[in-house]
Each structure stands twice: as structure tokens, then as C-alpha cells.
A and B are shown apart, each in its own frame.
Chain A
Amino acid sequence: MTRAPLTDVERIKAQSRHLRGTLVNSLDNPLTGALAEDDIQLSKFHGFYQQDDRDLRSERKRQRLEPAYSFMIRARIPAGVCSPAQWLNIDRLAGQYANGTIRLTTRQAIQLHGVIKRDLKQTIAGINASMMDTLAACGDVNRNVMAPPLPGLSSVHRLVQTDAERLSAHLTPATRAYHEIWLDGERLDQDEVEPIYGDTYLPRKFKTAFVVPPQNDVDVFTQDLGFIAIVEGGSLIGYNVTVGGGMGMSHGETETYPRLGSVLGFCERDQFIAVAEAVVTTQRDYGDRTNRKRARLKYTIDNRGLDWFRGEVESRGGIRLQAERLFMFVGNGDAYGWRETDDGLWHYTLFVQNGRVADQESRKVLSGIREIAKVHDGEFRLTPNQNLIISEVQRESRASIDELLGKYGIGNEEQGTPLRLHSLACVALPTCGLAMAESERYLPSLVTKLDSELEAAGLADEAITIRMTGCPNGCARPYVSEIGLVGKGPGLYNLYLGAAFAGDRLGCLFLENANETSIVAELGGLFRRFAAEHKPDEHFGDFLVRARVVRHVHEGRDFHGGSVDARA
């Protein structure tokens, strides 16, 4: 059997001299707002993506102008914790170099959109100036490490946060290219080695999250590598390790599918770094470098089997994994408003629709958070649900925060319907180059229409998760949402139903290529049926599976089976 050739991205990585490529020349070329072809791939490792304003694409072609290129920059924020000073810095950069908005992501990070090439360096250097960076926010490496922003026990939170930060640091690429290019660091590419990744890094992106049950806010099963905190007697004793989660798939290609992570076993707290490194190097050596669509860890595991994988991790890590410990999840959303933790500090979880921090007529999220950042002496925590927590507020400071929230028309979560408060949308148009349909700009209006259906069905108080993405890559993790809408073309979506409220069961395809009218009509009917037939405390997704409206999808490989036929 002849071996398939490596993907072109592998060549680019190999030739890049640890991610340097010709980025410097690309930045200096005044004849285009774009990067050279190869550098577009390398830029991701440095934390930015080349994009163009898709609203203007055909117009500019007729104008004989190149696409309106700009860049999305992603700042990596391990565990989503950032200081008010850091926030103010980002806020300033957003106004100065980006499109004047800040985007909170589904991985507790921050994105700026619309930065043009000649401003990249100042922006990235500006981000670094406040002890944040963008290195490895994207690319074939371990991405921003997630951790739950607000578990009930503050002591456990601190420990998990520290572990997430340690792991993040451990898995950060060692190349000095980043410092050279963006921070005018000295040139040090002689004899440089990447101890964990090697010269060609990973076959594909890699994602890690920590979670503290019972809240699954980080959606741990959608991650390549997950650590489920096991707390006994109030103290953190170790983690259940999950491997092989992921969302991305391609329409019409059944060999690609979303997959929930499998629990590999339990490790002691002091073993998690060794476990993580072993998982990463196994994927480094066995992940498919000939086909990027099948290069994620989930396929490596399905190809070779979980037992093989466990053996590999144990031998590489020099550890033995123990049997998994008991845990339970109840939901994957955020709890809004004020909450007190055991240390007597207060935290306000602010709903930020689709993570877009911007000023609108009545809701001035951008200005509001800016003003709060100026007076707040605690920290901010970004949630995996694209929201923001004003964290560690002294009891006596609450009133002043409330006042600012009110002044800027934000923090009125009680006015939001449960459906809206449980909604997520990926960025999609106009910046995302992969989007096939609207998402962030569209979901809010669709939710309004669905809310009327819910109200008509007497379900106005029912919490249902709804997530939309502009393409099947699944950036808002729609396949673990009770209502998942995945773009197929302008105005057309696939509708997935039956996922679990806690994110531990995949949804199943219910409608293909549906437009708004049929989405609203079909869901309206199911809402009414649910209202009539559900058991006490039964969630919408569970009901649909029980009622056999959709098939129960047991695992990733099962995702494409049956589908539409399963409609009752």
C-alpha cells in the first residue's frame, strides 16, 4: 500500500523554521492587504486569521480591488481570567485598530475583528503589553485551555484554574518566532527545538478543558482532552480524563462527524501534566497528517481503539490510570446575575448576546464593561458560553456595579427569555471565511420568533439550549445543544434535535436544508407536543429522544445513521 502524501500544511510547517515562514515579508508587502499563501497558515499559530469582508466580496471584484482583507486576532486567556486593566487594554486596541467591538468566544478567549495588516504588529504588541498573548490561540497546537469560571467552591476554582494555567504554559510552543516578529525580540532560531511538538507541531488543532461537576459549562465532552475534577470532602483529589471529543464535520462527508470524548480513566492531580503530554505526543505521532478532515484526535482514537490509546498514554506518561470516578452533570449553560461563593465574594454573570461586546441603542455593553473595568478591583472571567462574569466583588461594591449595569442598559437578564439566555451563535458572516449561512447576525431574531411559539405553547419559562453555527465546523458546539442549527446555504439550516441539556448526548439530524418558516413551524409543533406530553423536570432534548421524534445517537460514528427516517 502506498502512503498518501502529506497535506500541504505539513510542508508549510516543516519549512517554516518554527513558524517564521516569510511572515515578515508578508507584513511588509504594501501591494496587498493579504499575506503570502503559506503565511496564511502560519499566522494562525501566532493567533490571527486572514479574513475578508464577505459582504463586500463581489462588489470589490467588480471594482478591480482585492477583497477587503483584514485579520481576526485571538487573545489566549487560559481559564478565561482577565484583569480589569487587561480588559481596558483590549478595549482600547479594539477601538484603535479593530472594528470597535470585542468578541467573547466559546473558548473563554477574546477576538478582535477587522484589524488591517499594517496594524497587526501594533495590535499584537499591544495585547502583549498587558501580559496577554496570542501565541497558539489558533493553529495545530494546544489552544486556549478552558476551566469553569464559577464553581461553587472558590478554593477548588483556584486550584483548577491554576492547573489549567500550568497546563497551558506547559503546552505552549517554545519557538521564539513570536517574540522576534511581534515584540522585536532577538533572532534566536539557531538550534531551537520544540520539545513537545517537534518541527511539524500537531496534525491538527487540539483543545483542552477542565471542568468541575455538576455544571458542564465548558462542554468537556466536545474537547480533545478533558479533565473532570473529582472533589472529595471539599478537596480536589484528581481528574477523570476524557479524550477524543470534537464537533467539526463536513456536510455530506459521513466519514467526518462530531464525537463526544470518551472517559479514559482517573488520574491523580499531580499526574495530569504527564497525562496531557502523553495524549498530545500520541496524537502528534499517530494523528493523520495526510487528510486534515480526519486528523483530529477523535479519528485517531476511533481508528486505533480506546484501549490501544490508553496503553500508549500510560507508557508514554509512565503512569497507570485508575478506574473512572463517579460524576454527574446537570447542564451546560451559565447561571446569570449575582452569586456568592464560599469566600464571601460576589460574582455577576452578565449575558452578552453571542459574545459580541458592542454598543447598541439601548444596550451599551462595550461602554458599560469599560466603565465597570475602571472601578472594579476584582477580576473578569469569560465563560465558555460567550458571557462575562464580573468576579470577586466585595459585598459593599455590588451596588455601584448594579448602578453601572443599569446606566448602560445591561445586566437585565431577567428580561431575557430562558431560550435567549441559553443561546449561542458562532461568528459566521461577514468575517468567517467558512460560513455558509448567517449565525451571529441572525440567531437573535430567530429566537424572538421561537419565543412566541414557546409562549403560545405555555413554555415561556422553559430553559432549552439553542445553538447556531454558520457551517458544520460547529464552533458554538451545536451538536450538543437541544436545538442545533447548522448552516448549509444562505437562509438554510440543518436542524439537529435530541441532544442532552448537560451536553453529554449528541443531537440527531431532524430537518435538512430548512428555511426559517419550516424551522419555526416544525419547532412550534414540537413545543406544543412537549408541553402536552413531557414528564416532570424532563428536558426538551430528552423528551424528543424518549418520544422517538429523533433517534438516540450513542456515539460519533452513529451520528449520520438513520437521520431523517427517525422522524416520528
Chain B
Amino acid sequence: MNTRAAGSVLPPIQDDRLQRISAEVADMTSAQLQWVSGYIAGLGAGRSSAAPQPVDSRALTILYGSQTGNGEGIAGALAKKATDSGFPTVLQNLASYRPANLKRESVVVLVVSTHGEGDPPDDAELFCEFLMSARAPKLAGLSYAVLALGDRAYVNFCQTGRELDARLQELGARRLMPIVECDLDYDEAAASWRNEIVGQLPEWLDLTPVVPHLRAVESRTKYGKENPFAAEVLSNQKITGRHSTKDVRHIELSLEGSGLTYEPGDAVAVVGSNPPQLVAQFLDLIGAAADESLQLDDDIVTLRDALTNCLEITAPNPSFLRAWFDVCGSPELGALLEDGRQEALIGFLQEQQVVDVVRRYPADIDPQRFVSMLRKLSPRSYSIASSPGANPDEVHLTVAALRYQAFGSEHWGAVSTHIADRVGEGESLAIYIEPNSRFRLPADDTTDIIMIGPGTGVAPFRAFVEERAERGATGRNWLFFGDRNSSSDFLYQLEWQRHLASGALHRLDVAFSRDQDEKIYVQDRIRENSAELYRWLEGGAVTYVCGDARHMAGDVNDALADVLVQHAGLDRDAAEARLAALRREGRYRRDVY
């Protein structure tokens, strides 16, 4: 049961009809399913204009908002367990759920992740907006539970879940159990939460379970998170020059036969592996044999396989640190884990890899225990750098291979080096598409766009410019790009020159930080061109920012605020408010990481 379509276990229609419907939608993509569910809901709404949408008040309603599929999986697993245990269950994606219906629900379980910078996932956006607004109804008759997904490496950990949890209570709903906050290694927490809920259901629903006489037909998109597509690598080309300090790859993948589709602004998730050199270091550190077998979930695997393909051994997370503290007992590490040291912890996580922690706070540990501390290797996202129209059956990525020296040794990122070093042309890469409806080109092709994308942040803008040329859009395109050295790091330089010459790109301003003594960044170019930029904004231009979240996004935001201060005659606060308004109107969009 892994479906975004609305489906209830005790449906108000006959089995054969439901089966026909299920068969009809079985091979649809999730986007198609979402559309169909909306379409059918619309039909329903039209037919029963007087009557409210039928709601089974004695059923469990599971609502989820999920961007990269984690929450969707958790919600689906709960629905399956509840159904299998004989409880009437409705599973629905928030995108197709009418928030006003909350009034008529009795028990709702919400699964929601947090994205952007504390923002809801795309599919939950409108739901959240409605619920947070003054229009939200009183919900005295509702009982609920929230499972929030997030990543402790972000400051706004699980923010969306927390906000919804608090807001529902504020609206008078009854909290059935405390919010469960999941970090990236959520499997265990999610499983025990599932068991607890199903255990409580007889009481919450006031009903004895009946063994179901029908199971929803399994319907899922062919390729997705649970079933990634093996895309052939058509090209793996370094696009930084010989003397560059960076290794950035232009990757071209074939989507032939996958049925996968995408739009500029979407990302591709890549399932990768860990660098063999790093795996060797770990084998050395824990003093174990590579072929030693051990238990991982329900499988028996070798230690090398576990470290190479299954577990996260590069980026550490707080639960690992806690587990490691339990074995090494280092007071220094303990201090970092104390309450109120959130910022320091995040800083630590951004700089240290698991191997650094293990070296810095050594301890004897047996392989089985070590492996159980590590979370699952998660896929990484890469902005799509191609327009599907200009590159049928292909998807392009711009991947910076993360390699650096620190603490006296060589370090690697897992998935970026998997892409750069471990899959050659002709081999394949396991991927799926991550739609991102928040980072789309304006529907109106006459609208001007301003794209700010230093470093690999330029990737989606390559897709944007290609797409606008392909569509014959008449709106102007202005790109701000920056990197270290113009001679070696001017990503896609020849293409931009061509686009400028052909008129597909109207302006290009570049900032190369290391070409001169003083550092120059895109935000400096924004300020230098503030008058013109303001004219574009006044003319209705949409501004897009992509790339580094740690520094760039904030610096660019400040520069944009300065533009408004200087030319719109606003004070600082009013300028910030204006930017916030632009964001709400969809005229200032960010995709930062």
C-alpha cells in the first residue's frame, strides 16, 4: 500500500467497481494520480453540492505531506498495518485533501516533513497555509497525532510538524499522543509509533477491528524512491578547468524506457555508495575483517557491503554521536550533546565526518554494534540542469565532487564521489525524480526572470534558459553567476556565451571571488546593478535563488533587501517584509541546500 490516491478500506462502492478503478490507475505516475484524485474529488464536489463530502467518522484518516517520499512511506506503512489489523483507514495526500473536512473527521494522524528553511513540503503547502490562517475552523471534535520528519542538521528541525501540532491544539483538537519527531534515521521511531497507534486504535475509534474483506490494489508509479530507475550514464564530464580547485561534473543520464518525466526546477535523487578508500579506513579502525557477516535489519550482509552500500558513513548525525558517546565516554563529546548547544552541534555536524569522530574519540567497538549505530545511506538530491524539451529522454545534472583535506587526511562525500568516480559512461546510476513545484518557471512566458545561482546553484538555470528558449518565451532572462576563478570555474561558459549571442539569455553578471585580491560575490554584483534590478522587479520579474544555503542564500537576501532600501525608499524592516511578500506571491523563489 503505497499510494497517493485517496482510498478507503471500507469504501462506499462495490468491490468490482473499485477494482476496475484501481486497475485503471495502476500504471499512473504519482503526478497523474494526484491530478486524477483532484479531478474525481472535483466531480464528487460537483454532484453533492449541498451535502458535505462523505466522511466516515469511525475510520482512521492518515494524511501526509512529503517531498522526497520518506513521509509517504511511513504513512503508507501505517495505513497497511491498520488495514491489515482490520481498521477502516483512509490514506490521503495533503495536496488533495480539503482542509475544511477536518471539522468532520474524528481521528486524524498527520505525517509531515520539513523542507526549504523550515517550510512545509510542496504538497502540504496550501493545507498549512489554510490551517495557519484565520479562516481555519474550530476543531473541537477532532483527535489527532503528528509524526514530524526532519533533519537535525537544520536549525528549524521538524518545524512544519511542530507548527501543525501546536496549531491543531490551539484550534481545540485533542492531542492523542505527543508529537514524534524523526531525524533522518527514522525507521525505528516510525515503527514503534506505528505499533503504538495501532494498539490504541480500538480505544480511539471505539470499535473492534474486523478482518478486512478487501485490500486495495497495489498501485504505484513504476519508478520512485522504493524502486529507483537504473539510468544509463551517457556522459560524465568534468567541467572545471585543469587548474581548478574544484571538480564539478556535468552528468547526462538516459531516461529512455523509464516513463519518468520532469520539469525544470525539479531535482533528481541519486542512490549512491561510499568511497572504497573510506570503507577501508573504517575496516582498519574497527579492526574487523571485510567479509565478516553481520545482521542488518532482516538481512545478513558482509561488513564491507554494509559499509559500502547500506549505511551512512560520511555525514554524522546526533543519534550517532549519542551512541558513540555511550561507547567512548569522551567528556568533550558529551558536552556537545548537552541541551542548549544546538548551534555548536550543527556546526560540528557540518564539519566532521563519522570517521573524524571515531578517530578523535577512539573506542573499542565490535562491528555489529558499530553498524547498528549508523543510519541508512540516504539518496542525495541534485538539481536538474536540463530542459526535457531540449533533451528528450535525458536528464542532466551538475555535480560538485566533494573531496577535501581535513584533520590531516583526505575526505570524500559519499554520493557526489559515487557519481564522479564510481560510475563511468555506459554504467548506470539509480535515480528517481523529486518534483519541486515551488521552483517553477512562471507560467506566463512574457514574465522576466532573474536567476541567482553561484557554483552548482547554476544547474537549474541551465534548464530554465534552455526551456525558455525552447518555448520561445519572450520574457527576459538575467543570470547572476559566481565561482572562484573565471578561467577554470565558469560553469557552462561556452553555453552562456552562445545563449547571449542567440538572445536566449539577456544579461549575465559574473563574480569570481579569487580573480582579484578582494573577494567579489554575486551579492556584490546585485548591489552594483541595483537600479536595473529594481526596474526588473517593478516590471514583475520573478527572482530565483539556488545554491549554498549556509552563506549565499542569506547574503543574497540581504543584497536584495538593500536594493529595495535604495530604490523603493523602504527602511530595512519594510524591505524585509516586502521580500517576504514577494516570496508568498511566488515572485521570489529559493532552492537552497
Point out residues on A near B: beta carbons under 8 Å: 30-33, 56, 59-66, 68, 116, 118
Docked pose: A116 CA to B243 CA in angstroms: 14
| B470 contacts partner chain A, Cβ-Cβ < 8 Å | no
Are the C-beta atoms of B515 and A65 separated by less than 8 Å? no
Docked pose: A31 CA to B506 CA in angstroms: 13
Are the C-beta atoms of B241 and A32 separated by less than 8 Å? no
A60 surroundings in chain B (CB, below 8 A): 241
Given contacts A64-B494, A66-B493, contact A31 B237 (CB under 8 A): no
B495 surroundings in chain A (CB, below 8 A): 64
Docked pose: A31 CA to B498 CA in angstroms: 11
| B402 contacts partner chain A, Cβ-Cβ < 8 Å | no
Of the candidates B488, B510, B516, which one forms a contact with A65 in the assembled complex, judged by CB atoms under 8 Å apart? B488
Of the candidates A30, A31, A65, which one forms a contact with B241 in the assembled complex, judged by CB atoms under 8 Å apart? A65
| B497 contacts partner chain A, Cβ-Cβ < 8 Å | yes
Docked pose: A59 CA to B508 CA in angstroms: 25
Are the C-beta atoms of B494 and A66 separated by less than 8 Å? yes
The A-contacting residues of B in range 222-272, CB under 8 angstroms, are 237-242, 250
Given contacts A64-B492, A68-B487, contact A31 B238 (CB under 8 A): no
A65 surroundings in chain B (CB, below 8 A): 239, 241, 488, 490, 493-494
Are the C-beta atoms of A64 and B493 separated by less than 8 Å? yes
B250 surroundings in chain A (CB, below 8 A): 64
A56 surroundings in chain B (CB, below 8 A): 241-242
Docked pose: A30 CA to B510 CA in angstroms: 7
Docked pose: A68 CA to B490 CA in angstroms: 12
Docked pose: A46 CA to B491 CA in angstroms: 32
CB distance from A123 to the nearest CB of B (A): 15
B469-508 vs A: 1/0 string, CB under 8 Å?
0000000000000000011101111111100100000001
- Nearest first, the 5 closest Cβ-Cβ pairs linking A and B are A63-B239, A64-B494, A65-B493, A64-B492, A64-B239
CB distance from B519 to the nearest CB of A (A): 15
A59 surroundings in chain B (CB, below 8 A): 242
Of the candidates A31, A33, A116, which one forms a contact with B500 in the assembled complex, judged by CB atoms under 8 Å apart? A31
**22 A-B Cβ contacts within 8 A?**
A30-B486, A30-B512, A31-B496, A31-B497, A33-B486, A56-B241, A60-B241, A61-B494, A63-B237, A63-B239, A63-B241, A64-B491, A64-B493, A64-B494, A65-B239, A65-B488, A66-B493, A66-B494, A66-B497, A68-B487, A118-B515, A118-B516
Closest to B491 in A: A64
A66 surroundings in chain B (CB, below 8 A): 490, 493-494, 497
Closest to A33 in B: B487
Docked pose: A32 CA to B486 CA in angstroms: 8
Closest to A34 in B: B497
CB distance from A418 to the nearest CB of B (A): 40
A61 surroundings in chain B (CB, below 8 A): 494
Closest to B508 in A: A31
B510 surroundings in chain A (CB, below 8 A): 30-31
Docked pose: A186 CA to B239 CA in angstroms: 43
Number of A-B residue pairs at CB separation under 8 A: 47
Q: B239, B250, B487, B512 — which one has the most chain A CB atoms within 10 A of its CB?
A: B487
Docked pose: A79 CA to B516 CA in angstroms: 37
Docked pose: A30 CA to B483 CA in angstroms: 13
Closest to A56 in B: B242
Q: A32, A33, A65 — which one has the most chain B CB atoms within 10 A of its CB?
A: A65
CB distance from B58 to the nearest CB of A (A): 61
B240 surroundings in chain A (CB, below 8 A): 63
Closest to B240 in A: A63
Docked pose: A56 CA to B250 CA in angstroms: 18
Docked pose: A32 CA to B494 CA in angstroms: 9
CB distance from B455 to the nearest CB of A (A): 15
Docked pose: A116 CA to B89 CA in angstroms: 69
B487 surroundings in chain A (CB, below 8 A): 33, 68, 116
Docked pose: A65 CA to B250 CA in angstroms: 12
CB distance from B247 to the nearest CB of A (A): 11
B515 surroundings in chain A (CB, below 8 A): 118
Docked pose: A61 CA to B493 CA in angstroms: 10
Docked pose: A63 CA to B496 CA in angstroms: 13
Docked pose: A463 CA to B239 CA in angstroms: 51
Docked pose: A31 CA to B516 CA in angstroms: 15
- A sample of 15 more A-B contacts (CB under 8 A), given A31-B497, A63-B238, A65-B490, is A30-B510, A31-B508, A32-B493, A32-B497, A33-B486, A33-B487, A61-B494, A63-B241, A64-B239, A65-B239, A65-B241, A65-B488, A65-B494, A66-B490, A66-B493
Docked pose: A56 CA to B516 CA in angstroms: 24
Are the C-beta atoms of B486 and A62 separated by less than 8 Å? no
Closest to B238 in A: A63
CB distance from A6 to the nearest CB of B (A): 26
Docked pose: A64 CA to B396 CA in angstroms: 14
Q: A31, A60, A68, A118 — which one has the most chain B CB atoms within 10 A of its CB?
A: A31
The A-contacting residues of B in range 499-537, CB under 8 angstroms, are 500, 508, 510, 512, 515-516
Docked pose: A507 CA to B492 CA in angstroms: 49
Docked pose: A59 CA to B239 CA in angstroms: 10
Docked pose: A225 CA to B526 CA in angstroms: 56
B492 surroundings in chain A (CB, below 8 A): 64
CB distance from B510 to the nearest CB of A (A): 5
Docked pose: A22 CA to B241 CA in angstroms: 29
Are the C-beta atoms of B241 and A68 separated by less than 8 Å? yes
CB distance from B454 to the nearest CB of A (A): 14
CB distance from A65 to the nearest CB of B (A): 5
Closest to B509 in A: A30
Are the C-beta atoms of B237 and A62 separated by less than 8 Å? yes
Closest to B510 in A: A30
A62 surroundings in chain B (CB, below 8 A): 237
CB distance from A32 to the nearest CB of B (A): 7
B494 surroundings in chain A (CB, below 8 A): 61, 64-66
Docked pose: A68 CA to B242 CA in angstroms: 10
CB distance from A230 to the nearest CB of B (A): 53
B493 surroundings in chain A (CB, below 8 A): 31-32, 64-66
A63 surroundings in chain B (CB, below 8 A): 237-241
Docked pose: A65 CA to B487 CA in angstroms: 8
CB distance from B489 to the nearest CB of A (A): 9
CB distance from A64 to the nearest CB of B (A): 5
CB distance from B369 to the nearest CB of A (A): 46
